[in-house]
Structure 1
Amino acid sequence: MPLAALVLLLLTGTLVPINRKFRETPGGIPVFVASNGLHTDVVVPTQDARTGLDWRPLLTASGQPARPAAYPFVAFGWGNAGFYRSSRGGHTPGVGTTLRAALPSPTLLHVSWCAGPPQPGTRVAALRISAAQYEALAATIRASFQADSVGRFVPAVMLGYTAQDHFFEARGRYHVLRTCNDWTNRILRRAGLRAALKAPLAGSVLYQVQHVPKTRNH
Structure 2
Amino acid sequence: MAAFVAFILLLMTGTLVPVNSDFRQTPDGIQVFVVSNGVHSDLVFPVREPRTATNWLQKLNDSTVVSKFGRYEYIGFGWGNEGFYLGSYGRQFPGLGATLRAAFPSPTLLHVDFYKNAPQPSERVVPLLISEAQYRQLTAFVVQSWQTDSAGRPLLMNAAGYTPDDFFVRAKDKYHLLRTCNDWTNRGLRTSGLRAALKAPFAASVLYQARQASKKPPRQLPTD
TM-score grouping bracket, smaller chain normalisation: over 0.9
Match of 1:105 in 2: 106
The alpha-carbon deviation at position 69 of structure 1 amounts to 4.0
Structure having the larger proportion of residues in helix: 2
Q: Secondary structure at the match of 2:51?
A: coil
Give, in whole Å, the separation in 2 of the partners of 1:104 and 1:216. 40
- Point out where structure 2 has 5 or more consecutive residues left out of the alignment: 220-224
Corresponding position: 1:2 with 2:3: yes
The alpha-carbon deviation at position 172 of structure 1 amounts to 0.6
Q: Secondary structure at the match of 1:2?
A: helix
Alignment of 1:1-218 (within 5 A): 2-61=3-62, 64=65, 66-157=67-158, 159-212=160-213, 213-215=215-217
Q: TM-score if structure 1 supplies the norm length? A: 0.94
Give, in whole Å, the separation in 1 of the partners of 2:59 and 2:67. 10
The alpha-carbon deviation at position 95 of structure 1 amounts to 1.9
Greater shift after overlay, 116-125 or 43-52? 116-125
Letter in 2 for 1:120: P
Any idea what the Cα deviations from partners look like across 1:70-90, whole Å, max 9, x if unmatched?
Answer: 311000000000111111011
Greater shift after overlay, 135-144 or 60-69? 60-69
Any idea what the Cα deviations from partners look like across 1:113-142, whole Å, max 9, x if unmatched?
Answer: 101111111111110001000000000000
Kept in 2, the 8 Å contact 1:14–1:196? The answer is yes
The alpha-carbon deviation at position 92 of structure 1 amounts to 1.2
Q: Secondary structure at the match of 1:66?
A: helix
Alignment CA distance shift 1:54-1:72 (3 Å): same
Letter in 2 for 1:172: D
Alignment CA distance shift 1:70-1:64 (3 Å): closer
Computed over aligned residues only, the root mean square deviation of the Cα atoms, in angstroms, reads 1.7
Q: TM-score if structure 2 supplies the norm length? A: 0.92
- Point out where structure 1 has 5 or more consecutive residues left out of the alignment: none
Give runs of ≥4 in structure 1 deviating > 2 Å: 60-70, 213-217
Give, in whole Å, the separation in 2 of the partners of 1:197 and 1:24. 20
